[in-house]
Amino acid sequence: MSDRDRSVLAVERRGWPGPGAKERAIRERLGISPTRYYQLLNALLDDPRALAHDPVTINRLRRIRDERRERR
């Protein structure tokens, strides 16, 4: 996993106080757009290295993704 991948997971792991705070942090800390952030994050959900690095975050996000897919 790259440093950027680990940083994406670190941002996702953190709690955010309100709307807009997470998007600002993505731009300031990672230097990428929120759209690119979510593209990277979605790719990490299927990466076994990401699961090994942060199983709690990855499994939580996989559950959310699966629940959304079931509702469609």
Which of 5, 61, 63 lies closest to 36 in space, CA to CA?
A: 5
Is 72 a residue whose pLDDT tops 90?
Answer: no
Q: How many residues does the chain have?
A: 72
Distance (Å, whole) CA 17 – CA 23: 12
This prediction's pTM: 0.87
Domain ranges within the chain, ordered by starting residue: 3-71
Distance (Å, whole) CA 53 – CA 58: 9
pLDDT tens digit string along 6-40? Answer: 999 999 999 888 879 999 999 999 999 999 999 99
Q: Contact 47/62 with Cβ under 8 angstroms?
A: no
Would you state the pLDDT for residue 15?
Answer: 84
